[in-house]
Structure 1
Amino acid sequence: MFDSETTRLMPLQEVMKITGIRRATIYKKINEGSFPKAVKLSPTCVRWRSDEIQQWIEELPRH
């Protein structure tokens, strides 16, 4: 469920900064099904839900 107090929509630059992953790798992982899909707000504007990105980070294998 979307909780506006804890979830916000993040632009690609912020997702890249938080994850440490480059643009091309993010889109490659999306196509592979191993990264959260973006929310398309308009033909030229996409955002990622912060809760989905945080969950993805938390589920990464720890070494």
Structure 2
Amino acid sequence: MPPDRDQLLTVAEVLRITGFKSRTTLYRRARNGRFPCPCHIGAGKIRWRSGDVEDWLSSLQPRRY
């Protein structure tokens, strides 16, 4: 995870970090409130704050077998 919590991550970086396989899954989860919403930075560019993604990852419950 990037050390700067305010760093802006691209879709490809978020997919790599989270392990999601498609952009559709990422946007669907954001729309349903199950993933942080992206920031629109202009000119059709969308980015996620690394701190938001990091917080989401740390909030996941470990799976017990």
Which bin holds the TM-score, normalised by the shorter protein? 0.7 to 0.9
Unaligned runs of 5+ in 1: none
Aligned residue-pair number: 59
Q: Which amino acid aligns with 1:8?
A: Q
Moved over 3 A (4+): none
> Corresponding residue for 1:55?
55
1:14 to 2:13 alignment:
yes
Give the RMSD, CA atoms, in angstroms.
1.1
TM-score normalised to the size of structure 1? 0.86
Aligned-residue identity in percent: 31
> Corresponding residue for 1:27?
27
